[in-house]
Structure 1
Amino acid sequence: MDLKTRYLGLELPSPVVASPSPLNARLDVLKQLADGGAGAVVLPSVFEEQIWHEQRILDQLVEHGTESYGEALSYFPTQAAFAFDSSNTLGLIEKAAKELPIPVIASINGTTDSGWTDTAHDMAEAGAAAIELNVYFLPTDPTVSGADVERRTLDVVEAVCETVQIPVSVKIGPYFSAPAHMARQIITAGARGVVLFNRFYQPEIDPVGLTVTPSLQLSSRHEMRLPMLWVGVLSGRLGGSIAASTGVENAEDVVRYLLAGADVVMTTSALLRHGPGHMEVLVRGLEDWLAARGVNHLGAVRGMLAHGAIEDPEGYERANYIKVIQSWAKG
């Protein structure tokens, strides 16, 4: 069975990719994922706050006794808040790139174009096959416009793409006013692909303790429909690679995204729930699905049900929304 696919210009042995998670910080786990059939692995994200924190420590050592940047330091949490050692991250990239038979993708998570470029350069030098930019920005300031948010994202993409020679993908959220247009702008800015979508942090309010508390829930299958919609709409129209992310639990979910037109399908939550051995379950399940239909390569089914590939794309559009509402009322 030929599961080969191309993503960001790289040839992958399968379309199932292990996206960033704490599991991917261990070389033995990365090897298990590769043995299970993963097409690539994305390492845990380095956060912009961590980059600034490490730089701040270096500055303190170099400029000990000066107060020339004291006001700027007040913008950041205490040093203990962001434990980070770039040598550990770069060491993992270097070891994984040498020992894994699949591409190793580094990840950076942040909001501005400052502090990313040096780290991206170092990651490329360490052997990363590509870099995934996770542009995570919550515009909580009501004076910040949608155009400002888009420009901020594109500034990051342009800065990193101008710095490294390896391909760059961009993981974005679904809340742009025109997601398809924004994805095209990202490709124009130099990226080779997009990852759809980021899941933004949503805090919980504790009515007893009267506090706002962190809350992270693993994704579930019902969250697939939003990214699947935009994967299907963008398939064949983007001019770059499309990675589908969110809600992948089993092989049928992988198939759904591929039918919509994804080049690769990323999973985190399922691997956290079931362990890295679940990668083999997903890949073998995909092989079984293809074999049951007499198909021996992915190209025969990828994008089969994309918006631009079906005779009646009504299922992706407003007409289907109206039908769904009316059918519910009749029921």
Structure 2
Amino acid sequence: MDLSTRYMGLTLKHPIVVSSCPLSDSLAGIKTLEDSGASAVVLHSLFEEQIRRENDAFDFFLESGSDSFAESLNFFPHISDGPKDSDRYLNKIRKAVESTDIPIIGSLNGITNSGWIDYAKLIQDAGAHALELNIYFLPTDISLTAQEIEQRYFEILKAVKKAVTIPVAVKLSPFFSAIGNMAKRLDETGADALVLFNRFYQPDFDLDKLQVDPRSSYSSPDEIRLPLLWIAVLHGQLKASLAASRGVHSPVEVVKYLLAGADTVMVASALMKNGPQFLQVLVDGLEHWLTARDYQSLEEIKGVMSKKNVSDPGAFERINYIKVLESFENPFTAGHY
């Protein structure tokens, strides 16, 4: 069975990729993921805030030291007792690339187009095979317009593409008024892949402490519905590769995403719950599904259920909404009239 796939120019042995998560926080973790069957690993993100904090700290010591005496310049190497977060991140990429045989994809998480963008080039120089931009932006400022928010994405992508030659993926939020057009414009701006979709932090309240509860939660299989829809709609309309993200907890979700037209399927929550060895369960389940139906390769099913290829494209549009409503049976009236 040929399970290989192409993702933004990279050839992967199968479509299941480890998404950015704590499991890739160490070199040992990355090697474990490879040994467990990962076709590629997206490293945990380097955040814009981490970089800015380091730069601000250096500027503070630079200014305060230079006011004292010229010889203070000799003390700059001792500002920190250990390597910076960014240095550790770049070193991790170097070691991961040297010690594994799978693509290592760096990840940058930020919301502006200055300062931290320089690290895209450093990530490339460290040996990363590709870069994922996780533009995690919650526009809580109600004075911002939709156009201003969208423009941030294009400016960041343009700046990164100008700085590097490795493939660049953009991890998108579903919260745009015209997500299809947004995807099209990012594709035209040069995105090599689109990852659909990001899981935004959604706070809860602690009623005892009356505080915002920052805890996160694992995804659930029901979350595949939204990315499944848009991957099916976008398949065949863009040059960029499509990566599915959210809700993968069994081979069932993997197969559905591929039928919609995904080139790769990202997984994180299932591995956090079941361990890295669960990767093999997903791969074996995919192969079993294909074999049972006499398929010879992954390419035979990719996009078969996309809007472009189904016999009834209206199934993805408003007409199907009416059918869904008609399919519901009221449990309080059923059988009484």
Does TM-score exceed 0.5, indicating one fold? Answer: yes
> In structure 2, what residue type is equivalent to 1:289?
W
Q: Is the Cα contact below 8 Å between 2:235 and 2:306 reproduced in 1? A: yes
The percentage of aligned residue pairs carrying the same residue is: 48
Indicate yes or no: 2:281 matched with 1:298. no
Distance 1:243 1:160 in 2: 20
Q: State the shift of 1:314 in Å.
A: 2.3
Distance 2:110 2:131 in 1: 13
2:328 alignment partner, SS class: helix
Q: Is the Cα contact below 8 Å between 2:52 and 2:116 reproduced in 1? A: no
Distance 1:32 1:296, change over 3 A: farther
- The equivalent residue for 1:168 is 168
Q: State the shift of 1:250 in Å.
A: 0.8
- The equivalent residue for 2:188 is 188
4+ runs deviating over 3 angstroms: none
Larger mean Cα displacement after TM superposition, 98-107 or 201-210:
201-210
Distance 1:212 1:229, change over 3 A: same
Distance 2:209 2:114 in 1: 37
Q: Is the Cα contact below 8 Å between 2:4 and 2:14 reproduced in 1? A: yes
Matches for 1:240-251 after TM superposition, within 5 Å: 240-251=240-251
Q: Is the Cα contact below 8 Å between 1:171 and 1:198 reproduced in 2? A: yes
1:287 alignment partner, SS class: helix
Q: State the shift of 1:25 in Å.
A: 1.5
Indicate yes or no: 2:8 matched with 1:8. yes
Distance 1:64 1:289 in 2: 65
Distance 1:49 1:164 in 2: 21
Distance 1:123 1:33 in 2: 20
- The equivalent residue for 1:214 is 214
Q: State the shift of 1:306 in Å.
A: 0.5
For residues 119-177 of structure 1, the C-alpha deviation after alignment (integer angstroms, 9 at most, x for no partner) is 11110000000000000111111110111110011111111111001010000110000
Indicate yes or no: 2:96 matched with 1:131. no
- The equivalent residue for 1:64 is 64
Matches for 1:144-155 after TM superposition, within 5 Å: 144-155=144-155
For residues 25-67 of structure 1, the C-alpha deviation after alignment (integer angstroms, 9 at most, x for no partner) is 1222222322333221000000100010111122223222579
- The equivalent residue for 2:198 is 198
Q: Is the Cα contact below 8 Å between 1:13 and 1:37 reproduced in 2? A: no
- The equivalent residue for 1:70 is none
- The equivalent residue for 1:263 is 263
1:63 alignment partner, SS class: helix
> In structure 1, what residue type is equivalent to 2:170?
V
**TM-score, normalising length: structure 2:** 0.91
Q: Is the Cα contact below 8 Å between 1:192 and 1:240 reproduced in 2? A: yes
Count matched residues.
Answer: 318
Matches for 1:250-329 after TM superposition, within 5 Å: 250-329=250-329
Q: State the shift of 1:20 in Å.
A: 0.7
> In structure 1, what residue type is equivalent to 2:241?
S
Distance 1:158 1:148 in 2: 15
Q: Is the Cα contact below 8 Å between 1:13 and 1:102 reproduced in 2? A: no
Q: Is there any run of 5+ residues in structure 1 with no aligned partner, and where? A: 68-79
Larger mean Cα displacement after TM superposition, 193-202 or 93-102:
93-102
Distance 1:325 1:17 in 2: 36
Which is higher, the Rg of structure 1 or of structure 2?
2
Q: Is the Cα contact below 8 Å between 1:290 and 1:296 reproduced in 2? A: yes
- The equivalent residue for 1:73 is none
Indicate yes or no: 2:89 matched with 1:89. yes
2:276 alignment partner, SS class: coil
Q: Is the Cα contact below 8 Å between 1:260 and 1:303 reproduced in 2? A: yes
